Amino acid sequence: METKTLPIRRKDVIWREVDGETVIISSDSKRMHVLNETASMIWLLLDGNHDQDSIAIAVAGEFGESMETVKKDLRDCVHQLRALDLLED
Protein backbone atom coordinates (compact mmCIF):
# COMPACT_ATOMS: atom_id res chain seq x y z
CA MET A 1 0.00 0.00 0.00
CA GLU A 2 1.53 3.28 -1.08
CA THR A 3 1.69 6.22 1.29
CA LYS A 4 -0.18 8.58 -1.03
CA THR A 5 -2.94 6.18 -2.08
CA LEU A 6 -6.37 7.69 -1.54
CA PRO A 7 -8.77 4.86 -0.74
CA ILE A 8 -12.43 5.87 -0.91
CA ARG A 9 -15.57 4.37 0.62
CA ARG A 10 -17.99 3.01 -1.97
CA LYS A 11 -20.82 5.46 -2.43
CA ASP A 12 -23.47 2.75 -2.70
CA VAL A 13 -22.67 1.32 0.75
CA ILE A 14 -25.10 2.17 3.55
CA TRP A 15 -23.49 2.96 6.91
CA ARG A 16 -24.32 4.53 10.26
CA GLU A 17 -22.41 5.31 13.44
CA VAL A 18 -23.87 3.63 16.53
CA ASP A 19 -22.26 3.99 19.98
CA GLY A 20 -18.73 4.58 18.65
CA GLU A 21 -18.92 1.76 16.13
CA THR A 22 -19.84 1.85 12.48
CA VAL A 23 -22.44 -0.48 11.01
CA ILE A 24 -22.04 -1.04 7.28
CA ILE A 25 -24.48 -2.78 4.96
CA SER A 26 -23.10 -3.79 1.61
CA SER A 27 -25.62 -2.98 -1.11
CA ASP A 28 -24.42 -5.89 -3.25
CA SER A 29 -24.48 -8.70 -0.74
CA LYS A 30 -26.86 -7.18 1.86
CA ARG A 31 -24.36 -8.30 4.50
CA MET A 32 -23.84 -6.29 7.66
CA HIS A 33 -20.39 -5.48 9.03
CA VAL A 34 -19.62 -3.82 12.38
CA LEU A 35 -16.40 -1.85 12.78
CA ASN A 36 -14.76 -1.19 16.13
CA GLU A 37 -13.83 2.33 17.22
CA THR A 38 -10.45 2.37 15.48
CA ALA A 39 -11.74 0.91 12.22
CA SER A 40 -14.69 3.33 12.41
CA MET A 41 -12.34 6.30 12.50
CA ILE A 42 -10.40 4.90 9.56
CA TRP A 43 -13.68 4.36 7.67
CA LEU A 44 -14.73 7.97 8.24
CA LEU A 45 -11.40 9.22 6.89
CA LEU A 46 -11.58 7.05 3.74
CA ASP A 47 -13.35 9.89 1.94
CA GLY A 48 -10.77 10.59 -0.75
CA ASN A 49 -9.57 13.74 1.01
CA HIS A 50 -7.02 12.02 3.25
CA ASP A 51 -3.93 10.12 2.23
CA GLN A 52 -2.72 7.17 4.25
CA ASP A 53 -0.18 9.26 6.17
CA SER A 54 -2.78 11.78 7.33
CA ILE A 55 -5.13 8.96 8.35
CA ALA A 56 -2.35 7.28 10.33
CA ILE A 57 -1.44 10.55 12.08
CA ALA A 58 -5.09 11.20 13.02
CA VAL A 59 -5.60 7.66 14.36
CA ALA A 60 -2.31 7.69 16.29
CA GLY A 61 -3.25 11.02 17.86
CA GLU A 62 -6.74 9.86 18.79
CA PHE A 63 -5.75 6.54 20.33
CA GLY A 64 -2.20 7.25 21.54
CA GLU A 65 -0.64 4.42 19.56
CA SER A 66 2.74 4.40 17.83
CA MET A 67 2.86 5.23 14.12
CA GLU A 68 4.30 1.78 13.43
CA THR A 69 1.32 0.09 15.10
CA VAL A 70 -1.21 2.40 13.47
CA LYS A 71 0.26 1.97 9.98
CA LYS A 72 0.06 -1.81 10.32
CA ASP A 73 -3.52 -1.58 11.61
CA LEU A 74 -4.40 0.81 8.78
CA ARG A 75 -2.95 -1.54 6.15
CA ASP A 76 -4.86 -4.47 7.67
CA CYS A 77 -8.10 -2.51 7.89
CA VAL A 78 -7.91 -1.23 4.31
CA HIS A 79 -7.03 -4.74 3.10
CA GLN A 80 -10.10 -6.19 4.88
CA LEU A 81 -12.41 -3.43 3.62
CA ARG A 82 -11.16 -4.03 0.07
CA ALA A 83 -11.65 -7.79 0.46
CA LEU A 84 -15.25 -7.10 1.51
CA ASP A 85 -15.62 -4.88 -1.58
CA LEU A 86 -16.47 -1.83 0.54
CA LEU A 87 -13.89 0.47 -1.08
CA GLU A 88 -13.66 1.83 -4.60
CA ASP A 89 -10.71 0.66 -6.66
pLDDT, tens digit (0-9, with 9 covering 90-100), for 23-79: 999 877 788 999 999 999 999 999 999 998 999 999 999 999 999 999 999 999 999
Domains of the chain are 8-88 (1.10.10.1150)
In this prediction the pTM is 0.88
Measure the CA–CA gap between 86 and 88, rounded to whole angstroms: 7
Which band of pLDDT confidence, cut at 50, 70 and 90, is reported for residue 87? very high
Helices first, then strands: H and E counts in the chain: 3, 5
